[in-house]
Amino acid sequence: MDFDLNDEQRMFRDVLRNFVDREIRPVAQEWEASGRYPTEIVETMRELGLFGLTVPEEYGGLGVDMVSFALTFEEIAKGWMGIAGILGSHSLSCWLIARHGTDDQKSRYLPDLASGKRRTGIALTEPDAGTDLQGIATVAVRDGDHYVINGRKTWITNARYADPLPVLCKTDPAATPAHKGMSVILVEAGTPGFTVERDLPKLGYKGTESCEVLLEDVRVPAAQLLGGVEGRGMQQVLSGLETGRINVAARALGIAQAAYDEALAYAGQRKAFGKPIGDFQAVQLKIAEMAAQVQAARLLVYWAASRSDGGHRVDMEAGMAKAFASEAAVFCALNSMQVHGGYGYSKEFVVERLYRDAPLMMIGEGTNDIQRVVIARALLSGAATIG
């Protein structure tokens, strides 16, 4: 077993770290506090080709391996998790189009998505349907050579910039089971009836917007049906969410690493009773446990990514990585705050932002309780083994 990155992956990580240190860290606190959209950072991500992470090279993308994909979100989240969110939803949508789109859909959208000329996200969640996607109420009715879509989506990242926005809907609401009647339709920005409504206020995860989207009699050409065949939407989305969970796991790893880094540095600088607080055993125990949590999370994330690179189905591996890394992020953020004492509660210190960002990783891309159900089912069915 090889737990080291190869030379190409290390070089890629170094480029990412330089970008984060140069353009994200210096402005993250101020821009997050003011609610300023990170336009300049997005432009640099375009120049670096990061919007093409999951786009094949034949369409102008980077087509990176999944370990490099995970590295991207780990390094960016260490600087500012909200920026990773801008890239995450876009990358998942690009993966869906590249994997499941028709030849025409790929050639029309992927080159511009890879360059960042177009950006995208994905519209799954509804006010009354999150974990249970089969419970969505958004419906697309065939009308000649068009679909007419009606429904409402919520918590949609990149909603104001998505063009197109893949929308999960029911093309056959009477289908049993429900997933057989679900499809993904690519809705272009500016389509009449497609409205991006309010930005939802959030505890953390600033920098990117999370919006409500209303679809009222939205007429979309039938050629916008992802893959060109009805009834495959749930299958398409679930295959993409394996990638999405590696993305979220890597973001959580980045938060955990950043929290540990902040605690370690502060423990060496802050003095109490005439010596660094890192000399006290109570602080040492926190530092040691945080380090172990970070490294264990990293091994799970890279393991899941490596298995994906090997062509394996990774719903169990990605679920393990996502559940463990997100809980490590929350643990490390809280313990880093405790190491900082009163300063950890101040918005002038990075750890306060990490503490607010971390809990979302336990919820996004499927709650951790759902991840454990997925893991258990894979093990009980014999589809996956441990040891």
Q: Are residues 265 and 291 in the same domain?
A: yes
Mean pLDDT of 65-84: 97
Residue 68 burial (10 A CB sphere; 0-12, 13-18, 19+): buried
Burial 201-227 (b: 16+ CB within 10 A, else e): eeebbbbbbbbbbbbeebebeeebbbb
386 falls within a domain: no
> What does the alpha-carbon distance between residue 96 and residue 99 come to, in Å, rounded to a whole number?
5
What is the Cα–Cα distance from 363 to 368, expressed in whole angstroms? 7
239 in the same domain as 144: no
State how far the Cα of 309 lies from the Cα of 114, in Å rounded to an integer: 20
pLDDT at 98: 98
> pLDDT tens-digit profile of 323-358?
999 999 999 999 999 999 999 999 999 999 999 999
CATH of the domain at 174: 2.40.110.10
Other C-beta atoms lying within 10 Å of the C-beta of residue 150: 16
Summarised one tens digit per residue, pLDDT across range 282-317 is 999 999 999 999 999 999 999 999 999 999 999 999
CATH of the domain at 313: 1.20.140.10
- For tokens 């999960």, the residue is 168
Please report, rounded to a whole number, the percentage of residues in the chain having pLDDT higher than 70.
Answer: 99
In 3-state terms the chain splits into helix, strand, coil percentages (rounded to 5) of 60, 15, 25
User: Two tokens at 290?
Assistant: 């945080």
Q: Is position 278 within any domain?
A: yes
> Quick one: 223 and 270 in the same domain?
no
On whether both 207 and 294 belong to a single domain, the answer is no
What are the tens digits of pLDDT across the range 260-287? 999 999 999 999 999 999 999 999 999 9
The total of structural domains in the chain comes to 3
What is the C-alpha separation between 64 and 240, in angstroms, rounded?
Answer: 16
Alpha-carbon distance 115 to 47, whole Å? 8
pLDDT in tens, 199-221: 999 999 999 999 999 999 999 99
Number of H helices, E strands in the chain: 12, 8
pLDDT category, 236, cuts 50, 70, 90? very high
213 and 260 together in one domain:
no
Distance in angstroms (rounded) separating the CA atoms of residues 266 and 287: 11
The pLDDT score that the predictor gives to residue 384 is: 87
The per-residue pLDDT for range 84-132, each reduced to its tens digit, is 999 999 999 999 999 999 999 999 999 999 999 999 999 999 999 988 8
The secondary element (H helix, E strand) that includes residue 343 is none
Query: Is there a single domain that holds both residue 281 and residue 374?
Result: yes
Residue 126 maps to a domain: no
The answer as to whether 160 is a domain residue is yes
Picking from 230, 247, 265, the residue at the C-terminal end of a domain is 230
Joined together, the tokens standing for residue 77 give: 């989240």
- Residues annotated as catalytic (active site), given as ranges: 365
- Both structure tokens of 312: 């394996």
Q: Are residues 199 and 329 in the same domain?
A: no
Distance CA 117, CA 140 (A): 28
Summarize pLDDT for 18-60 with one digit per residue, the tens: 999 999 999 999 999 999 999 999 999 999 999 999 999 999 9
Could you tell me if 202 and 242 lie in one domain?
no
Is 90 exceeded by the pLDDT of residue 387? no
Reading the block at residue 52, the tokens are: 């093409």
Residue 285 lies in a domain: yes
Structural domain span for residue 224: 133-230
C-alpha span between 41 and 23 (Å, rounded): 7
Do 186 and 194 form a contact (C-beta atoms < 8 A)? Answer: no
For residue 275, list its beta bridge partners: 272
Query: 196 and 209: one domain?
Result: yes
**Residue 3 confidence (pLDDT):** 76
CA-based end-to-end distance of the chain = 14
The reported pLDDT for the residue numbered 1 is: 60
Do 241 and 354 lie in one domain? The reply is yes
Mean pLDDT over 176-201 rounds to: 96
Residue 173 and residue 276 in one domain: no
Q: Is residue 127 part of a domain?
A: no
Residues 137 and 253 in one domain: no
Backbone angles phi, psi at 271, to 5 degrees: -115, 145
Mean pLDDT value of segment 161-177: 97
CA angle 102-71-58, nearest 5°? Answer: 30
- Alpha carbon distance 69, 63 (integer Å): 9
What gap in Å lies between CA 250 and CA 328, rounded to an integer?
11
User: What residues form DSSP beta bridges with 152?
Assistant: 214
Residue 197 in domain: yes
The CA distances from residue 165 to 14, 133, 160, in Å, are 32, 17, 10
Tell me the longest C-alpha to C-alpha distance in the chain.
79
Q: Is 186 exposed, middle or buried (0-12, 13-18, 19+ CB in 10 A)?
A: buried
CATH code for the domain in which residue 81 is found: 1.10.540.10
